[in-house]
Amino acid sequence: MFFNLSLDQSSMESPKNLIIVIFGASGDLTSRKLLPAIFSLNIQKLLPAKYAIVGIGRTKLSNEDFRTKTSEAIVLYSEEKVTDQNLVSEFVKNTYYHSMDSSSADDYTELKTLLKEIDSKYQIGGNYIFYMATPPSLYESITINLAISGLCKEEEGFRRIIIEKPFGYDLESGRKLNSTLHELISEDQIFRIDHYLGKETVQNLLVTRFANGIFEPLWNRNYVHRIEITSAENMGVGERGGYYDSAGALRDMVQNHMLQMVGLTAMEPPSSLDADAIRNEVLKVFQSFQPIKEEDVPLQVIRGQYTPSLIRGECVTGYRYEKGVLPTSRTETYVAIKFFINNWRWGGVPFYMRTGKRLPTRVTEIVVHFKQTPHHLFQREAGKISSNQLIIRIQPDEGILLKFDMKEPGAGFKVTNVNMDFHYRDLANTRVPAAYDRLLHDVMLGDGTLFSRDDEVETAWKFLEPIQKAWANNKAIKVFGYPAGTWGPEFANDLIEGEGLTWRYPCKNLADEELYCEL
């Protein structure tokens, strides 16, 4: 089930009847991602025979108002081509809306009554999923109120809670959140969602490694020179300046998305495809991170902040001028980290990860740089360093690229680097599911494979704690400016070990108006 290229009834079991309760139903996440994903599952016949969706929010809406908003969201954002409006009309009949203050315990009495009525009408059997599409500050109060009202008790059916990152803001708050949740519900009821792990290429990383005899023998310190993980965004913070200024790239991207990709890249083969077997191996990777000493943070971590720039003739504002951002802000919009994994497989191999906003393009990829041959026999371009690379493109244009050397036609042995690639888009008659399709369906089935466990979250925060402390305690550590539309601070290249080595730059400027991303 874990590695199928598409979601279809022939390969996926059907969930039990259920009610999906979405807190923050009038928000952007619900409109853009959640409702279209649930509709997509419905089109693929992957929803249970009987289901209902209940939106919760402060905004005063009637059921009909919410159904209209749901229809509009599906038409605007769904990856399914809506050619038959009747399908949308039938789908929204199962949606309801309830206006309440989710931080007020008294309001949960009415919610419980409403859910019982819908449960009886649809013969659900007590199976509820609570999705917190809210600010993280509300996670604890909503869970506490659900518990007080008895809505967390698994008496008849299951009760599951989905929370979005960030899972805390540091080690202390992450532990506190876990502790509060565990006092109220069990760990197997909690699904910490990371949409990156729902992407097909991330999941296929395990198949690439563990199903192919040509890769796994090379996937270690004997053959790998370094591993590089990049997650770049070409957009700024937009309307999220207020949130982002209290978070930054380290909390927003590294603690969850980036470290989970490191875990899947570096983990040992699991004993099975059981959720805990896979997550145990990811945890072992996190536990093997060589701690970064607080005094070494300036040597191993570069942080930056985008500054005003001219991109393709358009003036782009700097981060400190974005709405909701303090004019003296030191919040990082870019972070690059060099670190090591102290275990038998990876000892001595440097890992690099970088993420940033207002970079030249939107791209996420994992690059395995293999060691060069010990003796260079063949002619290359002057000053050019060549090595074999395996590039796993997560987004966009999902696929895998292998770079290796070939002889150029003609006399002599002049060598050129060539590509052997695979694109998911080339698969005929195969639908690559969107990340939220996969993840929501897994929650319905109770499959926690693609969700972060409590010990993973806390171990990730423990690794990042010295960086957070160094930035807080040592104001002399610089926040490097980088012009919007560039690949971040030039000092980030100093992290890469080896003469003449730099980060891989996935995209090349062909003209002022376009970028070409190789894959």
Both tokens assigned to 94:
């199962």
Count of other CB atoms within 10 angstroms of residue 62: 11
SS3 state at 508: strand
Q: How far apart (Å, rounded) are the C-alpha atoms in residues 152 and 63? A: 25
Give every CB contact of residue 214 below 8 A, 6+ residues apart in sequence: none
Could you say which of 98, 195, 225, 257 is catalytic?
Answer: 257
Q: Say if residues 306 and 318 touch (Cβ distance below 8 Å).
A: yes
Closest CA to 50 of 123, 116, 120, 115: 123
Phi, psi of 130, rounded to the nearest 5 degrees:
-110, 115
Q: What is the residue type of 25?
A: A
Give every CB contact of residue 438 below 8 A, 6+ residues apart in sequence: 7, 198, 200, 450
Q: What share of the chain is helix, strand, coil (3-state, %, to 5)?
A: 35, 25, 40
DSSP 291: P
Q: How far apart (Å, rounded) are the C-alpha atoms in residues 459 and 441? A: 27
Both tokens assigned to 35:
């409702």
Give every CB contact of residue 475 below 8 A, 6+ residues apart in sequence: none
225 is catalytic: no
Closest CA to 212 of 449, 402, 463, 76: 402
Both tokens assigned to 161:
């809670």
What residue spans of 245-311 are helical by DSSP H?
A: 248-249, 259-266, 275-287, 297-300
Q: What is the residue type of 229?
A: I
Burial readout 397-411 (b: 16 or more C-beta within 10 A, e: otherwise): ebbbbbbeeeeeeee
Q: How far apart (Å, rounded) are the C-alpha atoms in residues 328 and 71? A: 43
Give every CB contact of residue 514 below 8 A, 6+ residues apart in sequence: none
Both tokens assigned to 178:
């876990």
DSSP 426: G
Determine the distance from the C-alpha atom of residue 411 to the mean position of all C-alpha atoms in its chain, rounded to a whole number.
49
Distance set, CA 332 to CA 335, 358, 466, 474, 502 (Å): 7, 12, 16, 15, 21
Pairing of strands 480-483, 507-511: unpaired
- DSSP states of 118-156 as a string? HHHHHT--S-EEEEE-S-GGGHHHHHHHHHHTTTT--SS
Which residues are part of the catalytic machinery? 257
